[in-house]
A and B are shown apart, each in its own frame.
Chain A
Amino acid sequence: MNHRLVLRQGPPLRVDARALTPALLGALSADEVRRLRLPHGREGVMLAELFDVRPGRDDGQHALVLEGDLSRFDAIGAGLAEGTMEVHGPVGDAAGLGMSGGRLLIRGDARDLAGCAMRGGWLEVDGSIGDLGASALPGERDGMRGGTLVVRGAAGHRLADHMRRGTVVVFGDAGDFVASRMVAGTLALAGRCGVHAGFGMRRGTVLFAGPAPEPAASFVPVNSDAPVFWQLLARDLARFGGPFDGLSKRRVDRWAGDLAVLGHGELLIPH
């Protein structure tokens, strides 16, 4: 059965919430869910001490709903492979860490490392995310490798650092070093970004649907259009709506780089 977990009060320490997946909890009764132990600081805590466990909507799909201020809960939806998880409220670090499938919808803010090392699935954050969204875990070389990350608010620094595959769509602003060391994949940004966009990117695409930064000296203009690719990309991004709708009617300038590395990446600047 599907469950709805309503936070009664915030925990005093940080909680590792990666055990809370729709598939796992869907196989448990409400009592079994209440008896789950979650890592809490250096100890563990019974789920029932933190949450009221209520029945969720049952439509044949695995679905899990969390409600409340979960900003002290890290790794929510980490490793998610199937089913839908919806969080009404802010969450902590590493939401959707390494998820490979399913849908994780966060109706609030997420902190650092959201969608980090993601391999598939759909992660949507209605609020803003912290630094290193869709990037690699510290010390690792593989960032996001598949799936889709949608951020309705803003993103912090190092967004899509080391990203290798997949799509990141940000409606708001982003910090410094967006798509730094990007290996491939697509980042579409509607707001402003900080300095050093595309720093060290090897391949991949960064699209500035809104205000675009001045490309760095290690990027060169491309003297031909890519109308087919642009239409394919713009028509696909149109499904996100808002600033990404109508891109296909605009013309686009392309810049190739970062020439300090492979230089097969591109910055797309519609006008």
Chain B
Amino acid sequence: MQRRGITIDDTFAEAFPMKATRLVITAHNATWAMHAAVAATGFATSVIACGCEAGIERELEAGQTPDGRPGVAVLMFAVSGKELAKQIERRVGQCVLTCPTTAVFAGLAEGEPANLGRNLRFFGDGWQTSKVIGGVRYWRVPVMDGEFVAQESTPVIKGVGGGNLLLLATGTDAALAGAEAAVAAMRRVPNVILPFPGGVVRSGSKVGSKYAALPASTNDAFCPSLTHLAPRTELDADVRCVLEIVIDGLAETDVAAAMRAGLAALVERGAEAGVRRVSAGNYGGKLGPFHFHLHRLEPAEDAR
């Protein structure tokens, strides 16, 4: 399929169920809320070795948070509820509790509760107090700038991880510019995060490796340096740079909406901008239950 000169492969992104939650981090001002959110979602690009995938979903105005202060909504995804709970506790404990003036709240209404402030309260060494307000339990832990308030638990729901787009471009500049435009469009979609640096990953992986110890290794079929070397390649001679955008979302429809927005942004720029082809990563369709077919995510009429 061609759109404005860009070839859209007849393939699909294969995504997996994950456990997900949203946290709302507030602070005295937006700057400090962002410091905490950046720290809490750091080193959270891939569940392969980070424990979870996390990112900033959006900034919140003072009127949108439970305590009327500016805040940041972050999403966290992990392979199991247990692992997610561990990551929440570690990341909030080390990155939010520690950050001046912050407080942390659950950002979802319903789901299986996972501990948020429930164990962090013990940092209070006996001085902590609990408060039930409007049916919700909060913990108040005395800290050097006043007190740290954390909601007792946060609901965990089933999310979708691993939606993706592969951008095949004529060079580094074109690939980066295309990826940046797509990321900017996708970040406007609610309920999703793009967990990699700047939303973009250059080390797309395939399952398995020639080395028994590695569960994943470089996606050689999309490496332009191996176009004429690898036994199987997906690339033509004019592709000199491939970048991937990975999407985690709270629901299948959210991931689809983000992919659609990204695709639309790429198509709008046209093939002259350098992104010549858009593809997606999958494992043959046997591993992940969610399949996002690019041809079914066609950009809206006005964007063509």
B83 at the interface (CB under 8 A from A): no
Contact assessment for B147 and A236 in the assembled complex, using a CB-CB cutoff below 8 Å: no
Given contacts A229-B131, A236-B134, contact A224 B66 (CB under 8 A): no
Contact assessment for B149 and A228 in the assembled complex, using a CB-CB cutoff below 8 Å: yes
> How far does the Cβ of A148 sit from chain B's closest Cβ, in whole Å?
10
Nearest chain-B residue to A184 (Cβ)? B130
For chain B, residues 110 to 133, give those with C-beta under 8 angstroms from any C-beta of chain A: 127, 129-133
Q: Once bound together, how far apart are the Cα atoms of A199 and B134, in whole Å?
A: 26
Q: Once bound together, how far apart are the Cα atoms of A131 and B130, in whole Å?
A: 28
A192 at the interface (CB under 8 A from B): no
A217 at the interface (CB under 8 A from B): no
Q: Which residues of A contact B145 (CB under 8 A)?
A: 224
Chain B positions 3 through 47: 1 when the CB is less than 8 Å from some CB of chain A, otherwise 0: 000000000000000000000001000000000000000000000
For chain A, residues 219 to 263, give those with C-beta under 8 angstroms from any C-beta of chain B: 224-229, 231-233, 235-236, 248
Q: Which residues of B contact A233 (CB under 8 A)?
A: 131, 133
Q: Once bound together, how far apart are the Cα atoms of A235 and B130, in whole Å?
A: 17
A119 at the interface (CB under 8 A from B): no
B68 at the interface (CB under 8 A from A): yes
> How far does the Cβ of B136 sit from chain A's closest Cβ, in whole Å?
8
> How far does the Cβ of A143 sit from chain B's closest Cβ, in whole Å?
15
Contact for A227 among B67, B131, B134, B138, CB less than 8 A? B67
A186 at the interface (CB under 8 A from B): yes
Contact assessment for A226 and B67 in the assembled complex, using a CB-CB cutoff below 8 Å: no
Given contacts A226-B140, A229-B140, contact A264 B129 (CB under 8 A): yes
Chain B contact surface mostly? strand
> How far does the Cβ of A101 sit from chain B's closest Cβ, in whole Å?
13
Q: Which residues of B contact A184 (CB under 8 A)?
A: 130
> How far does the Cβ of A81 sit from chain B's closest Cβ, in whole Å?
17
Q: Once bound together, how far apart are the Cα atoms of A232 and B105, in whole Å?
A: 11
B284 at the interface (CB under 8 A from A): no
Q: Which residues of A contact B133 (CB under 8 A)?
A: 186, 232-233, 236
Q: Once bound together, how far apart are the Cα atoms of A87 and B68, in whole Å?
A: 38
Given contacts A236-B133, A264-B129, contact A229 B68 (CB under 8 A): no
B223 at the interface (CB under 8 A from A): no
Q: Which residues of A contact B138 (CB under 8 A)?
A: 229, 232
Contact assessment for A229 and B132 in the assembled complex, using a CB-CB cutoff below 8 Å: no
B241 at the interface (CB under 8 A from A): no
Contact for A228 among B26, B127, B129, CB less than 8 A? B26
Contact assessment for A231 and B68 in the assembled complex, using a CB-CB cutoff below 8 Å: yes
B146 at the interface (CB under 8 A from A): yes
22 contacts between A and B (CB under 8 A): A165-B132, A184-B130, A186-B132, A186-B133, A203-B129, A224-B146, A226-B140, A226-B146, A226-B149, A227-B69, A228-B26, A228-B69, A228-B103, A228-B149, A229-B131, A229-B138, A229-B147, A231-B67, A232-B133, A232-B134, A233-B133, A236-B134
Closest 9 CB pairs of A and B: A228-B149, A228-B103, A231-B67, A236-B134, A224-B146, A228-B67, A236-B133, A232-B133, A231-B68
Interface residues of A (CB under 8 A from B): 165-166, 184, 186, 203, 205, 224-229, 231-233, 235-236, 248, 264
Interface residues of B (CB under 8 A from A): 26, 66-69, 103, 127, 129-134, 138, 140, 145-147, 149
